[in-house]
Structure 1
Amino acid sequence: MLEIRNVTRRFGKNVAVNGVNLQIQQGQMVGIIGRSGAGKSTLLKTINRLIDPSQGSIVFDGTEVSSLRGPALRRWQRDCAMIFQQFNLVPRLDVLTNVLLGRLNHRSTALNLLSIFSREERIRAIAALERLDIARTALQPAGTLSGGQQQRVAIARALMQEPKLILADEPIASLDPLNAKVVMDALRDINLRDGITVITNLHTLDTARTYCNRIIGMQGGAVVFDGAPEDLTIEAVRLVYGADADGTEISEAITSTSIRPVKVRAPVSAAPLEPAYAPA
């Protein structure tokens, strides 16, 4: 179990995360929703220990990870894999090497400095790429791939860490709807098949409802909703997103990744359109 106990994170006078208390059972797929600046990314980075909480504690399976230092902290960051919106790949390195970098915290410093990977590690990396249907790109520079492909490489790298927990910070925010579906399908498959806890920040309500069995809503750094997808009613959405500057309710349409067919209307008049220019 992951326990977040009264965690607060301040940046000067700004409170990014405000007294968050959560218990997340092993094997859950959790979506965190909220407006930009609600504290979603800061909370995930605090769990991973990319930043430290200003107060409170984070406990995983009885170990207070918020106080870890040195090798113990590196082991936690190995067990708690992080996937970023910006992919965080090395563009000039080939895809296979980028995936193999997920093994760094499992190896000695000497092997890492020499960039020596075993045959078993390479086979495991290829298997991860095959699972995500991008093994054909293994020898391409990562920078030549599309955004959706790069995010799948990042997921394969996370799998190489053999994590107990995956944190995905806006993993589909920069992707088109088709690639967003592929990435979310991959995360759900990892959650269901491997039993790995997945916590992901999302801007889209339909995605959270479709993929997550628990949704947490944040506003102003605090948790204002925590429940099942069917509990995310209009009133709950209002708690999370509030109203726009003119007082109108937020429309779920603007948080949707659904692909809708474009209806082409017939012209009102059958008269031919005038040419945009006169022929010479």
Structure 2
Amino acid sequence: MKFELRDITRRFGDRIAVNAVNVEIPQGQMVGIIGRSGAGKSTLLRMINRLQEPSSGSIYFNGAEVSSLKGRALRNWQRDCAMIFQQFNLVPRLDVMTNVLLGRLNHRSTTMSLLKIFSRDERVMAMAALERLGIEQTALQAAGTLSGGQQQRVAIARALVQAPKMMLADEPIASLDPLNAKIVMDALRDINEREGITVITNLHTLDTARSYCERIIGMAGGRVVFDGPPQELNANAVREIYGSDRDGAGIDETMTSTSLASTRRGEAPVAIDTSGMMAEAAAMR
């Protein structure tokens, strides 16, 4: 299954947020999109999920034109292309289990979901997702009472129960401390490698993109100015993505560092340390 963007453009009045982007992504890649604020990263992801409409161009998945879908077919695409937001988008007053189960919304009737009538199998699926993320002990807590890192893991669990073919993450670690950022990125990589789900994530930090993503797309001014493996992201490429400082020097990469101590892809077996997450969660209680 191949995902394609063909000349995708998005205009807001006279401003071009995304400018004629052409990208092909085979199934199962983990892709990081980097660039300065305003480069078009979030707009691009929102168009992929059809939360925003392209001004021109086409989006294809497995040969079908996603950008022309309407009604039920569009809802099915948004089910298959799960979205994880920077601000989590949970319902704070609902318990964690119900927030996760809402990921099943497009798999069943809306009435059944709104009445919170879920099957035993769906509840087992939701609990398994929470256990996988190391936060099953929060299942009956109101989502609004959790820490930011825990809420982002709930959002990932909700995306998991959608049984998606692709997972989009819009700045998933931007508001998290380094420890929780690592836990979230480890979870996304684990999903990518174990399930073979394509993961596309927007990131501000070069060290995170290099550590977790097998492919990096750099955007500047709405255009793709770099597309390649992490080892090709050299000083010249970074300068083209981020520009130079007022003295003409290249950007200091330490300015974007999150100090994540992550093993790079391919250097060692990858797994989520569930026991470590459990210890962290217990300490937060």
TM-score for both structures, normalised by structure 1: 0.91
Aligned pair 1:250/2:251, yes or no? yes
Q: CA deviation at 1:108?
A: 1.1
Q: CA deviation at 1:111?
A: 1.0
User: What SS is found at the alignment partner of 2:163?
Assistant: coil
Larger Rg: 1
- Cα distance in 2 for partners of 1:130, 1:65 equals 33
Aligned pair 1:145/2:146, yes or no? yes
- Cα distance in 2 for partners of 1:67, 1:115 equals 32
- Cα distance in 1 for partners of 2:145, 2:105 equals 24
What pairs up with 1:156-167 in 2 under 5 angstroms? 156-167=157-168
For residue 29 of structure 2, what is the aligned residue in structure 1? 28
For residue 183 of structure 2, what is the aligned residue in structure 1? 182
Q: CA deviation at 1:259?
A: 5.8
Query: C-alpha root-mean-square deviation of aligned residues, in Å?
Result: 1.0
Residues 208, 260 of structure 2: 8 Å contact kept: no
- Cα distance in 2 for partners of 1:246, 1:106 equals 55
1:151-207 per-position Cα deviation (integer Å, ceiling 9, x unaligned): 000000000100000000000000000000000000000000000000000000000
Q: 5+ residue gaps in structure 2? A: 262-285
1:223-276 per-position Cα deviation (integer Å, ceiling 9, x unaligned): 00000000000011011001124433211001001169xxxxxxxxxxxxxxxx
- Cα distance in 2 for partners of 1:154, 1:113 equals 18
The code of the aligned residue for 2:211 comes to T
- Cα distance in 2 for partners of 1:250, 1:3 equals 31
For residue 10 of structure 1, what is the aligned residue in structure 2? 11
What pairs up with 1:79-94 in 2 under 5 angstroms? 79-94=80-95
Classify 1:173/1:162 alpha carbon distance in 2 versus 1 (closer, same or farther; 3 Å).
same
Q: 5+ residue gaps in structure 1? A: 261-280
Identity %: 75
User: What SS is found at the alignment partner of 1:72?
Assistant: helix
For residue 72 of structure 1, what is the aligned residue in structure 2? 73
1:11-67 per-position Cα deviation (integer Å, ceiling 9, x unaligned): 000100000000000000000000000000000000000001000000000110001
TM-score for both structures, normalised by structure 2: 0.90
User: What SS is found at the alignment partner of 1:198?
Assistant: strand
The code of the aligned residue for 2:196 comes to G
For residue 45 of structure 1, what is the aligned residue in structure 2? 46
Aligned pair 1:133/2:134, yes or no? yes
1:90-145 per-position Cα deviation (integer Å, ceiling 9, x unaligned): 00100000000000000012312322001110011000000000000000100110
User: What SS is found at the alignment partner of 1:129?
Assistant: helix
- Cα distance in 1 for partners of 2:252, 2:6 equals 33
For residue 221 of structure 1, what is the aligned residue in structure 2? 222
- Cα distance in 1 for partners of 2:235, 2:126 equals 44
Number of equivalenced pairs: 260
Aligned pair 1:97/2:112, yes or no? no
- Cα distance in 2 for partners of 1:81, 1:39 equals 19
